[in-house]
Amino acid sequence: MKPMDHARLSCSDTRWPHCPGSIRECRKYPRTSSNAALQGTGTHELLKVLLENPGILAIDYVDKCIGLGHEDKPEGWIIGSEQANRVQVAVDYINSRIRNMGGRDTIVESEILTNPGKKYGRNDWWGTCDVSLYFGDNLEVIDYKDGFTYVNENTSQLVSYAVGQVLKYPKTKRVIKTIIQPKNKACVRQVMHTVEQNNVLGQQLANAAYLTDNPNAPLIPGDHCKWCNHIDNCTPRNELATNFIKSPVNPVDMTPQQLSEANDAIPLVKNLIEAVEKETEDRINSGHTVPGYAMVSGRKSGPKWSDAKAALRRLASFKIKIADRTSNKAITPTKALQIESLTEPQIASLEKLIIRGERTVTLRKVARATAKDLFGDVTEEVARATAKDLFGDVTEKVARATAKDLFGDVVE
């Protein structure tokens, strides 16, 4: 059913229905997974295990490893207690829906491959539905979200899943689309459509899918840009930011509508600034020159506790008086090591809890002036002249003057 490892038009990619050109541009970037995404995959693995083993609780897997050999994380995931509690919320909801729909006669599928593209003659539009429940003429597709970012139940992802599952269960008359998101206050959100209504939504997605086939498909910026790999180099998006920056209107003179539009542009401007800084750093680090800028070594960050509570307990065990450790939190590592009553073994014990900061390297505006910058076209002989040659009989103090003394606030 799937001719490639990853669907070109993934059901979970909610960007391409709004920006057809993103499919073309995102191919230029390597596929990567954030730590949060990897952790979310582990949570979905736990959900699948629990649905395949009725009667077992999520808490039974706390501190245990699941998913050994998984393609995204071969070493698997160690389940935490909060993670288990979130998954249990999903399992409890799903079990209640099974009872209400048809009990044991309900068809339950988890991590099921669904193919909405088949309805429209496409082999590049498919995905994996977290949970599908079917009984009689009722179908419910469920998507579990483990993050904080609010996900609307009318998302194109659920529409795609519903289209694919209706192909599998053609007697369906009603489709329930459900988001389970335990980190959100309204952790279960859903909408119900008739099959006809969902077909209308599916056709809209199919129309958007055909637009992505155009080699010159447009890039259309919007809220969907957030996780796009091409965001830093998206010309239409950056044009919106630069147009706002060029605007001559002062905030105090803006109309309410202009203020609203300006606030909409703030994320675009911030993103453009970050992209410019990143590109500058990348070029300098790769050996290229960006006039007036350099990567400059900064100060080391101060020492800090790797575990402040453990440090407080450690200090308390040394019988340190309250004034030297505070009643509810540990003093800084620097102050702790200055306590005169500490023995060498105690100091060594504290050192194990201290993280020493490393010197940071940051992008800075610099003024590393050359002789030519300062004096114009001079010969090498003049450029190497001493202070006395250039300024006459001067005192030793002036002869040793720094660049700051002579030329003002510049960065060496």
Residue-wise pLDDT tens digits, 331-380: 888 888 888 888 888 888 888 888 887 777 888 888 654 444 444 555 54
Residue-wise pLDDT tens digits, 211-254: 999 999 999 998 888 889 998 899 998 888 888 777 777 888 88
Least trusted range by pLDDT, from 62-71, 115-124, 140-149, 299-308: 299-308
Look at 205 and 332; give whichever has higher pLDDT. 205
Q: What is the mean predicted confidence (pLDDT) over 114-129?
A: 96
pTM of the model: 0.67
| pLDDT for residue 186 | 84
pLDDT class for 23, splitting at 50, 70, 90? very high
Domain 9-211 classification at class level: alpha beta
Q: What whole-number distance in Å separates Cα of residue 271 and Cα of residue 275? A: 6
**Region for residue 128 given its phi and psi (left: phi exceeds 0; alpha: psi -120 to 50; beta: otherwise):** beta
| pLDDT for residue 204 | 97
User: Rounded to an integer, what is the distance from CA 404 to the centroid of its chain?
Assistant: 42
Look at 390 and 97; give whichever has higher pLDDT. 97
Query: Is the pLDDT assigned to residue 25 strictly greater than 50?
Result: yes
Q: Which residue has the tokens 């909801």?
A: 93
DSSP string, 126-164: EEEEEEEEEETTEEEEEEE--SSS---TT-HHHHHHHHH
Look at 226 and 2; give whichever has higher pLDDT. 226
Q: What whole-number distance in Å separates Cα of residue 144 and Cα of residue 138? A: 20
**Region for residue 58 given its phi and psi (left: phi exceeds 0; alpha: psi -120 to 50; beta: otherwise):** alpha
| pLDDT for residue 34 | 79
The domains of the chain are located at 9-211, 224-281, 302-357, 367-407
| pLDDT for residue 336 | 85
Token pair belonging to 29: 């970037």
| pLDDT for residue 322 | 57
pLDDT class for 131, splitting at 50, 70, 90? very high
Least trusted range by pLDDT, from 12-16, 46-50, 97-101, 406-410: 406-410
Q: What is the mean predicted confidence (pLDDT) over 42-51?
A: 94
Residue-wise pLDDT tens digits, 291-317: 989 888 777 777 888 888 888 888 888
